[in-house]
Amino acid sequence: MFITRAMRVFIILYEEKNLKSAADKLCLTVPPITRMLKLTEEWLGEQLFILERNRLIPTEAADNVYQQLYPHYSALTQFHHPTAERDFRISSPQAGHSLMADLLAKCQPALPKKNTIRYAGNMHTDDDIFISLQPTVLLPNFEIFRADQMLELHYVSSGEDDWKDKPVLFEHNLDQLPAFRHVLDEMYQCGHNRQTRRIDNAVWLKEAYENGEGLLFRRPEKATDGSRTLPFILHLSLSIYINTLKRDLRHETFLTCIKKSLNYFQ
């Protein structure tokens, strides 16, 4: 109730960097947002954003305002319901991936009962934790940790040594990672056909794998289902961002579990 509309509009615009997505998040249309932004810029006497191909690029003035304003904004957002237990929110661009599902399942006992797991391409100020396969812009009052997720290459054997002819099954974003491309090169040198098959649905991916339709990088403990393990390892660097303004025992408990489940190195 203490947050002004102009303050909220600026914060959301800065984080979304897109008028339409900011309008959707604020439950407004674009015109009132642009008017409010113009009034704010006139009051400050500074241009805050440059519009380029439907993207908002923050100016140096906007960066300075955000860094000063964000701590107060974050504190005020938590003042709305001081006695209510907040949902523990984990956001990730890979929220629907089998990799993230396996990791969160491993740490399920460490998660608070009231938790929200959501897809988000970028970090937001109200996130408790943000996890990504690729580094992202670090918001003020977030601390970054990195950990190594080691995955083995598994496949369901049909009795024949035909793994070289099977495609590597993968989910979106993996093919953009140098580590993934590097291990494909290693497999190619050992005779693999270098074919891949993208499946952006964890259920369908699991079914395709179990039906013997391809190879799949998985956590080592999942090989207990009778899968054959091939001598190729994929190391994924996970970036884990912790909101230091919200940080409490729940964050420490979850982070401890992450460190035990992964090869924590920073």
CATH for 168: 3.40.190.10
Which residues contact residue 216 at a Cβ distance below 8 angstroms, ignoring those fewer than 6 apart? Answer: 153, 154, 155, 168, 169, 170, 205, 209
Q: Does the residue 15 lie in any domain?
A: yes
Same domain, 172 and 232: yes
Q: Residues 145, 251: contact at Cβ < 8 Å? A: no
Q: What is the pLDDT of residues 33-44, one digit of tens each?
A: 888 888 888 888
| 10 assigned to some structural domain | yes
Q: Same structural domain for residues 230 and 161? A: yes
* Res 85: pLDDT: 55
Which residue, of 55, 77, 99, is where some domain finishes? 77
123 and 160: one domain? no
Residue 187 DSSP code: H
- Tell me: do 131 and 257 sit in the same domain: yes
Domain match, 155 and 192 both: yes
| Same domain assignment for residues 153 and 229 | yes
CB 146 within 8 A of CB 94: no
Q: Which residues of the chain have pLDDT under 50?
A: 1, 80, 82-83, 264-266
With contact defined as beta carbons under 8 Å apart, do 49 and 37 qualify?
yes
All residues at 6 or more sequence positions from 52 whose CB lies less than 8 Å from its CB, including other chains: none
State the pairing for strand pair 215-218/168-170: parallel
pLDDT computed for residue 256 by the predictor? 87
Indicate whether 225 belongs to any domain.
Answer: yes
Residue ranges making up the domain that contains 70: 5-77
Q: Does some domain include residue 111?
A: yes
Number of compact structural domains in the chain: 3
In a domain, 125, yes or no: yes
Go through the chain and tell me how many residues it has.
Answer: 266
Residues 158 and 206 in one domain: yes
Residue 232: the pLDDT is 95
In the chain, which ranges are E strands? Answer: 49-52, 55-58, 88-92, 115-119, 129-132, 142-155, 168-170, 196-198, 215-218, 228-243, 263-264
Task: Among 77, 108, 129, identify where a domain stops.
Answer: 77
Is 206 a member of any domain?
yes
- What is the distance between the alpha carbons of residues 32 and 105, in angstroms, rounded to a whole number? 43
Quick one: 246 and 132 in the same domain? yes
The answer to whether position 133 is within a domain reads yes
Q: What is the reported pLDDT for 151?
A: 93
The answer to whether position 83 is within a domain reads: no
Residue 82 burial by CB count (10 A; 0-12/13-18/19+): exposed, middle or buried?
exposed
Q: Are residues 221 and 179 in the same domain?
A: yes
Terminal Cα distance for the chain, rounded = 39
Query: 173 in the Ramachandran plot: left (φ > 0), alpha (ψ -120 to 50) or beta?
Result: left
Question: 77, 99, 115 — which closes off a domain?
Answer: 77
Same domain membership, residue 255 and residue 128: yes
